[in-house]
Structure 1
Amino acid sequence: MYRFLLTPRWWGINVFVLLAIPFCVFMGSWQLSRFEDRVQDHRTATEQAASGRAAAARPLESMLPVDKSTSGRRVSASGRYGKQLLVPGRELDGKRGFYVLTLLRTDAGKALPVVRGWLPGTADAARAPAAPAGEVTVTGALQASESPGSNGVAAQGGLPAGQTGVISSASLVNLVPDELYDAWVTLDKGDAGMKAVPASAADGTGLDLKAFQNLGYTGEWFVFAGFVVFMWFRLLRREIEFQRDAALGLVPEGSDRAPVPSG
């Protein structure tokens, strides 16, 4: 009864099934490993941020360029404050407000964007405290340049003079004449009564939409594998029923193969 499995038609079906199932399992396992990697990155970033707050500050230059291993680490830099900008539309403790961003011109001749703190309400230069004069040394968490869509950063255009929507060297290069570090620092303690802005995890280390997309794709690939097995058994059962009906003479003459199952 099962000799039909040796026909060219069933050879094709069997080869397809034998290739499709391992492929689906492999792809599902790969997507699962991607999700597990993101979970581990998130755990590592969280532990790093917690330990970084207690660790001794390192010189800025020794922690550049910013990557997953240095993001959130405490650094120190010395220089003089210069141009001040506001970063509107930033939330803290469930309230909407703005960052006060001041450029620190270091002894190396480059400018480091420093978030001195956060204030609630609409961005207003008159409300932003002036930066300390003279030589200062700042200590805070090192952060990578932002990009629209990362860490909740919105892409804002047409902002008034003295404001920027994204803290990055690419966005600030057109607003200040100084050469910029491709990084920024958020102070450990808010300056002049402002609230300190907590450090955020580096891009790609959070349990964001992409992480749960990997988990969703994992389920889809395993469902595909199960569907292939289900359809193979369904075709097999229909073929057996056809062979049985043919043996009993219930199939009209000239019918030499089972109909394709519907649905």
Structure 2
Amino acid sequence: MYRFLLTPRWWAINVFVVLSIPVCLLAGMWQLARFEDQVDQHNEQRERGETAGDAEARPFAELLPLTAETVGEQAEITGTYDAAAQLVVPDRTLDGERGYYVLTPLLPADGSPAVPVVRGWLPGEADAARAPAPPAGEVTVTGAVQAAESPSEVTTETTGLPSGQLGVIGAASLINVLPYDVADAWITVRDADEPMTAVPATAPTGTGLDMDAFQNLGYTAEWFVFAAFAVFMWFRLFRREVESRRDAELGLIPRSRAAEGAVARTGSPVPPA
């Protein structure tokens, strides 16, 4: 009764199912591995964030170029604040309250590109006049190093801002308002001068449990469903073929109809009883 499995049509079906199942399972395992990698990155980033405040500061230059591992680490740099170029970054939320950052470029003592330093956060509407002046003379700044922002990461309007305001923290935006080169990274100070509040470091984008990570988990389930569906369809076709041939042998349907159906389905007629 099962000799129909050896017909060319069923050979094609069998080979397709046998190959599709491991392919689907391997694709699902790959997506699952990607999800697990992002979970591990999220846990590592959280652990670094919990210990960042107590970590020993490293020279700022040693942390460049930034990577997912070095973002949020404590950096130290010595230089002089450019008070005349101080900016405010509006519409920044801290602990659920709307306010703004106070950003002052630091000119390093070694002559390297200036470093944007977020000296703290103030509540309310952005107002450059309310921002405290930076310390005069040479200072040593310690804080968490952060990657340059991109416009897609900022929820507020980044164009058409008043003079003295900045929408996105990064070299691409600062180069338009400062007359010197700027590092494509910034520092948020560990201890802010009153009345400002220190801005906590943030995790780098593209890591952790973001939407892409859960998409990988969804793709994992989809590939496993595809593998199960291939098995289900094979079993359904097999059962229908067996039932059709059994009905023909029992005379429940005309043998000519069964033969025609078998030829249409499998390419071979029902064998004579």
TM above 0.5: yes
- 1:16 — aligned with what? 16
- 1:162 — aligned with what? 164
Assess if the C-alpha contact under 8 Å between 2:122 and 2:195 holds in 1.
Answer: no
Assess if the C-alpha contact under 8 Å between 1:187 and 1:197 holds in 2.
Answer: yes
Identity of aligned residues (%): 58
Deviations 1:56-83 (A, max 9, x none): 1111112211112211111111111111
Which of 129, 135, 138 is the aligned partner of 2:138?
135
Structure 1 residue 180: deviation in Å? 1.0
- 2:209 — aligned with what? 207
Distance 1:258 1:101, change over 3 A: farther
Gaps of 5+ in 2: 266-273
Structure 1 residue 252: deviation in Å? 5.7
Is the partner of 2:92 in helix, strand or coil?
strand
Assess if the C-alpha contact under 8 Å between 1:31 and 1:215 holds in 2.
Answer: yes
4+ residue segments displaced more than 4 Å: 152-155
Distance 1:179 1:16, change over 3 A: same
Give the aligned residue type for 1:54: D
Which of 124, 129, 141 is the aligned partner of 1:121?
124
State the alpha-carbon separation in 2 of the partners of residues 188 and 258 from structure 1: 79
Structure 1 residue 259: deviation in Å? 7.4
- 1:257 — aligned with what? 262
Is the partner of 1:193 in helix, strand or coil?
coil
Structure 1 residue 192: deviation in Å? 3.2
State the alpha-carbon separation in 2 of the partners of residues 192 and 131 from structure 1: 11
Give the aligned residue type for 2:262: R
State the alpha-carbon separation in 2 of the partners of residues 154 and 210 from structure 1: 23
- 1:233 — aligned with what? 235
Distance 1:246 1:157, change over 3 A: farther
- 1:98 — aligned with what? 100
Which of 109, 112, 115 is the aligned partner of 1:112?
115
Structure 1 residue 153: deviation in Å? 5.3
Give the aligned residue type for 1:131: P
Assess if the C-alpha contact under 8 Å between 2:93 and 2:99 holds in 1.
Answer: yes
Deviations 1:92-151 (A, max 9, x none): 10112111111111123321010111112221212221222221111000111112334x
Over the aligned positions, Cα root-mean-square deviation in angstroms equals 1.8
Assess if the C-alpha contact under 8 Å between 1:87 and 1:166 holds in 2.
Answer: yes
Deviates more, 1:124-133 or 1:232-241: 124-133
- 2:179 — aligned with what? 177
Deviations 1:134-185 (A, max 9, x none): 21111000111112334x6556322222222211111211121111112110
State the alpha-carbon separation in 1 of the partners of residues 236 and 175 from structure 2: 64
Assess if the C-alpha contact under 8 Å between 1:60 and 1:76 holds in 2.
Answer: yes
Distance 1:42 1:166, change over 3 A: same
Gaps of 5+ in 1: none
Structure 2 length normalisation: TM-score? Answer: 0.89
Distance 1:245 1:117, change over 3 A: same
Is the partner of 1:257 in helix, strand or coil?
helix
Give the aligned residue type for 1:58: R
Give the aligned residue type for 1:191: D
Which of 183, 190, 193 is the aligned partner of 1:191?
193
State the alpha-carbon separation in 1 of the partners of residues 101 and 263 from structure 2: 71
Structure 1 length normalisation: TM-score? Answer: 0.92
Q: Who wins on radius of gyration, i.e. which is larger?
A: 2
State the alpha-carbon separation in 2 of the partners of residues 237 and 158 from structure 1: 69
- 1:27 — aligned with what? 27
